[in-house]
Amino acid sequence: MASNWTLSVAVGMLPHLSPITSTSYILDNVCVTGLVTDLLKSHYPALRMIGTDATPGTIEACDSKIATTKWFDTITSSICDSRTLTGIENEFFTHVITNFDFPPDLTDRCSPMKAAREIWRLLKPGGMADVSIWKAAARRISPNERPYAWTLPSDWSDAGWLQETKAEIGFGDNVTVKHIGGSASAESLERLVANMMCDKGMFCRGHSEEEFDGMAEVLGEELKKWEAWYEDEEGFGIIIDSWVAFATK
């Protein structure tokens, strides 16, 4: 995601993964532009991986990175919905890493469970699934409007929900949920806000163009009020915590 949100959490989860060896095969599920793939390859150059995402544009960016780094022999990508990872056989991966257990289609309340079952299907026995979600985090533009993403279950951002979801689809007691801190940062407040506004369509469907026009200014004002807001010599940012489940099949 923009402003290194995904990367900051991926760095924190790396030490908790089960051992990665010469025989490991990893799925970077909901890979977006391949940030997690890039991180893992920097530590394990010979690692074999597949990156999947439902958005063609992000897969194009991932493919461009593969071409630039000449990872053709070890990395492939595919346009796939995380709820139906078609074309990949059962028990294929030693690790499945999902950036966020976040529904690709926010109108489908069963999306998280569908995605979780696909993770279980694709893991080899003894394999590890790593799934992250953001802890709950604003609304002045339309005070009486419920943000679109809030059609999710009310406990979606709780550690317990993450644990129960993974246990229910087969992992049982072999699930550990850890708190991992992350952050979103940029060299300026304007850039940080612009990065966050990339997702405005996800959270603010139904808003008018006039409302969108004033949203960036309001967002910048609200960010600076958060306890999680910080400024340092490198720029501006907000601390964003996550829950990460490590589940072994």
Provide the CATH number for the domain around residue 135. 3.40.50.150
Task: For residue 151, name the pLDDT band (cuts at 50, 70, 90).
Answer: low
Give the count of domains, the chain: 1
Q: For the chain, give the mean pLDDT.
A: 81
> How far is it, in rounded angstroms, from Cα 116 to Cα 131?
9
Q: Please determine, for residue 25, whether its predicted confidence score (pLDDT) is greater than 90.
A: yes
More confident of the two residues 173 and 190: 173
For residues 127-150, average pLDDT: 61
Domain for residue 18, yes or no? yes
User: Model-level pTM?
Assistant: 0.77
Domain for residue 198, yes or no? no
More confident of the two residues 95 and 185: 95
Domain for residue 103, yes or no? yes
Task: For residue 140, name the pLDDT band (cuts at 50, 70, 90).
Answer: very low
Domain for residue 141, yes or no? yes
The lowest-confidence range among 44-48, 66-70, 203-207 is: 203-207
For residues 47-73, average pLDDT: 92
Domain for residue 120, yes or no? yes
Q: Please determine, for residue 135, whether its predicted confidence score (pLDDT) is greater than 60.
A: yes
Domain for residue 225, yes or no? no
Domain extent at residue 154: 2-186+240-248
Domain for residue 211, yes or no? no
Domain for residue 42, yes or no? yes
> How far is it, in rounded angstroms, from Cα 39 to Cα 13?
11
